[in-house]
Structure 1
Amino acid sequence: MPLIAHDPPELFPPYRGYVHAMEVAGGSRLLFISGLNAFQSDGTTMPESFEDQALLIWSHIKTILNSAGLGIENLVSLRTYLADPAFDEANARIRAEQ
């Protein structure tokens, strides 16, 4: 099965062998998106607030999906790790808005 890397130029640059997403093409397509963070396009800075970071990560997810001709409706599974349980409510709200 061919593997197709997806590193859209709108996202922060990949580093140390990191790939933003890897597509497995064959009889059907599977796209595995790497663990994303809220790096801005310079690859070094992040927004200050949790909300701004979460929105930027969702933007990254949508950009990667779009690069593969997919959309949010194609997500099968999504795992979120929060640095603080206090962010849970904001995370759930932002996720529902997507």
Structure 2
Amino acid sequence: IVGIMVERSIEMITGILAILKAGGGYLPIDPAHPKERINYIIDDSGAEIVLTESSLRNNISNNCKVIDVRDDSFFDQDGSNLDMVSESNNLAYVIYTSGTTGNP
């Protein structure tokens, strides 16, 4: 699972497609959520990587790897198409909603 916490943008779509293309499942995280909820979702899901923007970086206080989707250094690398690694039965995404307990 790879978390993605960005404002709605072309970078959000690109990030989701990149996660799926690499064979991962994405976890959308609303940047408007309180910091405690954001970190709870990241910890509870087991996400070790979160794609985000530098302006939202301070909302993440756990030990996951944070990747800035607007980092220009990522655009200088190999842009060739990836081989297909996922299958129709692989996880695509995880969505947290709050239940009756108040916890996602």
**Short-chain TM bin:** under 0.3
Q: Which has the higher contact order (CA 8 A, sep 6+)?
A: 2
Query: TM-score, with normalisation over the residues of structure 2?
Result: 0.24
